[in-house]
Amino acid sequence: MKTQSYLKILQKGFISSELEFEKALIIERKLRLLIKENPELNESRNQLRTIIKECEKLNWDKNSIISEEKIEESDFAEFIAEKERKFLAKRKEIIKSKLTELGINQQDLGLILGHSKSYISELINGINPFNIKDLIIIHNLFNIKLESLIPTTIPQKESSRIKSSILKINKTKLKVSNFNL
């Protein structure tokens, strides 16, 4: 469950999958809220909104032929994006709780991690992904379980490939059920 940085979408200038589309919708909503604290994000939000509208026009226009398969893909992408959103919201809650408990703020955390206050805000709010080094520092600093900081869900495509490989290996100690969403 890797968070796609909205900056990559802005650099590409288009959305290339239903999952990326659903994640872009969530990020756009978060950016709308963050603009109050960080007005410099307004231009990025407007660019992202334009890309989202183009994607909708291209794929979901009233004149488009929308197959049952496309609807299923969209529903699944929405499910995955929502699952990720909930994970990120829970992680944010855990980190903010630890900040409060220790009497430090986001700016202090930014100083520790070597990031600006606005970038820390983007990281904590799930707009941009934390790098693994930052999450390990937070884990050690705040004594937060890594499972609460790092998503452990395996993407569906990879999960299917792993299941297939496990079945080919045919060892009873390897469990296919461990690779479900």
DSSP conformation letters of 5-35: PHHHHHHHTS--SHHHHHHHHHHHHHHHHHT
Higher-confidence residue: 65 or 5? 65
**pLDDT confidence tier of residue 181, bands split at 50, 70 and 90:** very low
**pLDDT confidence tier of residue 163, bands split at 50, 70 and 90:** confident
Residue 179 scores a pLDDT above 70: no
Which residue type sits at 55?
C
Averaged pLDDT for residues 116-122: 91
With 0.85 as the threshold, say if the pTM is over it: no
Predicted local distance difference test score (pLDDT) of residue 55? 93
Structural element, H or E, at residue 148: helix 146-149
- Residue 80 near residue 1, CB atoms below 8 Å: yes
Residue listed under structure tokens 């790098």: 131
Structural element, H or E, at residue 160: helix 156-169
Q: How far apart are CA 53 and CA 60, in angstroms?
A: 10
Residue 4 scores a pLDDT above 60: no
Predicted local distance difference test score (pLDDT) of residue 153? 74
Write the CA distances from 40 to 5, 61, 113, 130, integer angstroms. Answer: 17, 32, 22, 20
